[in-house]
Amino acid sequence: MTSDLLLDLAAVVSLLLGAFLSLAAGVGLVRFPDALSRLHAATKPQVLGLIFVVAAIALEARSWSTLLALTPVLLFQVLTAPISAHMVGRAGYRTGNFRKELMLVDELEDAVDRATRESERTAGDADSDSDSGR
Amino acid sequence: MTILFTLTGALFTAASLLAVYRIVRGPSILDRMIASDVLLTTLILVVGAEMVLNGHTRTIPMMLVLASTAIFATVAVARYVSKQDLSTKDDR
C-alpha cells in the first residue's frame, strides 16, 4: 500500500518537473531578447521534459512494456529535435536574427563571409560568361 | 495528489499561454516557429500527463506521431526563410 502511494507520488512529481521545464521554456520565450537565445530556452522541455513525462507514465502504469512502447517517442524526439534546432539556428544566423552586441565570440562570421564572397564570385563569373555569350 | 495535478495543469497552461503570446507578438517568423514548436512540445507533454491523470495508455500512438512529425513544419519554414532572405539580398 505504501509502495503504491510512493510510486504514484513519484509519478506526479515527475510530471510536475516536466511541467516546470515547459513553463521555463515559455518564460524564456517571452523574456529572452533574440531568436537564437529563444531557441536555447525552447529546447529544454523537448528532451528532459519528455523524459520526465515518459517516466511518469511508466511509473503510473507500473509496467516495463509501457516504458518500451514509450521509448520510440523519446527516440524520435531525440533524433529530430537537434535537426530542427540546427535549421532554425542556421536560418536565424543567416537572416541576422540575433543581437550582435550580446555575442562574445562569433566564430561563424569568417566562414559565412568567405562563403558569401565565394558564391558572389562564381555568380559574377556566370554573369560575365552569359554576357560574352550574348 | 489532486493539488499536485492541478499545479501541473496550471504550469502547462501558463507555458502554452506564454508560447501563444510569443506566436502573436514574435518579431520574426523564426520566433513564431520556435514558439509553435514549444506549443507542440507542451501538447505532447499534456497528452502524456492526461494519461497519468486518468490511468490509461491509449494515447501513446498520438504522442509517437506528434514527436516524429514535429520536425517537418520547423524545417520547412527554416528552409523557406533562408532562401527568401538570399533572394532579397540579390535584389538589393
The A residues from 72 to 111 touching B (CB cutoff 8 Å) are: 72-74, 76-77, 80-81, 83-84, 87-88, 90-92, 94-95, 97
Residue A114 lies in a domain: no
Q: Which residues contact A108 (CB under 8 A, 6 or more apart)?
A: A93
Q: What is the average pLDDT score of chain A?
A: 83
Summarize pLDDT for B1-16 with one digit per residue, the tens: 889 999 999 999 999 9
B12 neighbourhood in chain A, CB within 8 Å: 19, 22-23
Predicted confidence (pLDDT) per residue in B23-75, tens digit: 998 788 888 889 999 999 999 999 999 999 998 889 999 999 998 888 888 88
> How many domains would you assign to chain A?
1
Sort A114 into a burial class: Cβ within 10 Å, 0-12 / 13-18 / 19+: exposed
For the residues A23-46, what does the mean pLDDT come to? 88
- Give me the pLDDT at residue A24, please: 92
Considering Cα of A57, then A61, then A67, then A69, what sign does the dihedral take?
negative
Asked if A32 reaches chain B (Cβ–Cβ under 8 Å), the answer is no
pLDDT score for B90: 44
Residue A37 belongs to some domain of the structure: yes
C-alpha angle B35/B71/B64, rounded to 5°? 105
Grid cell at residue A81: 529535435
Chain B residue numbers touching A127 (CB-CB < 8 A): none
How far is residue A114's CA from residue A122's CA, in Å, rounded to a whole number? 12
**Closest among A61, A60, A53 to A21, alpha carbons compared:** A53
What is this structure's pTM?
0.82
In Å, what is the CA distance from A133 to each residue of A127, A128, A129? 10, 8, 6
Per the structure, the complete domain to which residue A72 belongs is given by 2-103
Average pLDDT over residues B75-82: 81
Half-sphere exposure of B70 (CA within 13 A, CB side): 32
According to the model, what pLDDT value does residue A17 have? 93
Which residue on chain B is closest to A63 by alpha carbon?
B57
Enumerate the residues of chain A whose CB falls inside 8 A of the CB of residue B44.
Answer: 50, 53, 73, 77
CA distance B38 to B63: 15
Q: Quote the ipTM score.
A: 0.83
What distance in Å separates residue B88's CA from the closest CA in chain A?
10
Hey, what's the cell of B43?
501538447
Cβ contacts of B52 on chain A, cutoff 8 Å? 11-12, 15, 53, 56-57, 60
Residues of B in contact with A45 (CB under 8 A): 15, 38, 41-42, 45
Instruction: Please compute the mean of the pLDDT values over residues A13-25 and round it to a whole number.
Output: 93
pLDDT of residue B84: 52
8 Å CB contact between A47 and B70: no
Count of pairs with CB atoms under 8 A, one residue in A, one in B: 175
